Structure 1
Amino acid sequence: MTLKTIPKGGFYLTNSSKDWNLETIGIFVDDEFGEEEEKTEQLLANGWVETLDSVMIEDVIYHAKEQKEKVTTEELLEAFIYFIDNDSYLILKK
């Protein structure tokens, strides 16, 4: 998966945002029609955290790229975590 091909659905990560890094494993679950409801319940029961859906992730990426021509993967992760923790977009240093 690349940043250009974000799957549809909600994105789940383990633990809390303070532990996330570029090596953290995540999973997209498309539960729009309830087909994946059981998988979602299992993830939550096992300590996974629902973060953002694919549309909001694309929004975070868009806002980061609007601020800076060349955004690093680390900056995108920082912007993603910032949005989850603060419900607002990160202002990147130029």
Structure 2
Amino acid sequence: MKEVREPRKAIINAMPIYTMAHTNPALTHAISSLSRREIEVATKLLEGLPNKKIAVELFISERTVKFHCANIYKKLNINSRTALIAACFKTFVNLARPKP
């Protein structure tokens, strides 16, 4: 018997992306240019999920995930998921520093 899977709404927790944008004015325009789906994919990338798992969770193909990743990298002027994570980490480190 084939299992019927009910579609579920993707919950967007894009706080790292928006925090990155608001603490780095140069990224504000780039972040605002991301589509809703690209933000969902970027959030999953920041959670450390592989493309296959992102595809399953967002009900899209793995090829579509790769397409969104390429668009994200181009819009944010980065070249890998590691660069995306590094940019977020750098932003959080800057937020944690005490202001003089």
TM-score with structure 2 setting the length: 0.28
More strand by share: 1
TM-score with structure 1 setting the length: 0.29
Q: Considering only CA atoms, is the larger Rg found in Structure 1 or Structure 2?
A: 2
More helix by share: 2
